[in-house]
Each structure stands twice: as structure tokens, then as C-alpha cells.
Amino acid sequence: MKRIALLVAPALLTVVFAANAGTLNDGNWSPSGCGTLSEAPAVDSSNVDAINKSISAVNEWQKQVQSYDECMIKEANADTAAIANSANAQQTRYREASQKINAEAAAGREKFSGQSSSPGISNPGMVNPGMNNPGSGMGGQGY
């Protein structure tokens, strides 16, 4: 049952975050659901009426920028969470697979521990040195 939950959780997270996911293209991330950020308006300070209109345009543009920024942050956070959750789920699967295979190897080793001439049992302490601590390059901390 635990294994089913681990497989379902990343799928649910993908569905939840898919609506907010940005895009990554050649190493550049951009939000996908925030629209486009408009160019800043030009400020005309030639007379009082022109500067007042310019200030109104700047104020409106700043509201648009704030909305865009909030949307972008929301998407970036959703993508970050989705990536971290997916990476952690993969690490969990690899660790569980490692534990399972090490337990099977230990059981096999135990079964034949009285027979010293069995091939592959010459060093019973090292079942599979590469899988004894999967993810050790990351310090086991996940993402």
C-alpha cells in the first residue's frame, strides 16, 4: 500500500502544479500563464498635462508589473515544489529498491553462509557497494 501511495503522490502533484508550470527553454525559465510583460511607458515632461498623463500611465503599468510579478512568483514556487517533490519521490524509490535488493542479497548470503566455496560470497560485507548508500553524493538530504 505504501508503494502505491508513493506512486500516486507524484502524479497528483503533477496534476496540481501543471496548471501553473512555467517553461524552461535553453536554461531560461519563464512563466507560462502570466501573459506578457508590457514595456514601460515613456514619460513626457514637456508640460503639466503631459506629465500628469505620463504619471497615470506609469501607475497603471506598475499595477500590471505587480500582477505579473505575483503570477511569476506563484508559478516559480509551484515549479520549484513540483521539482523537489518529484526528485524526493525518485530518491525514495531508489532507496527502497536498494534496501530491497540488499535485503534479498543478505537473505541469500545467510542461506549459504555455511558454504565457504560459493561464488560471489567471498566478501559478505559488500553486497553491492554502489547501492549501499544511494544518493550519497547529495549527502542524503534530498532537495
- Domain edges within the chain: 1-19+48-84
Tell me, what's the pLDDT at 73? 95
Q: How confident is the model at residue 122 (pLDDT cuts 50, 70, 90)?
A: low
Q: Which candidate, 94, 121, 119, 95, places its Cα nearest to that of 107?
A: 121
Q: Quick check: pTM over 0.85? A: no
Cα dihedral 55, 61, 64, 65 sign: negative
Q: What is the pLDDT of residues 47-93, one digit of tens each?
A: 999 999 999 999 999 999 999 999 999 999 999 999 999 999 999 99
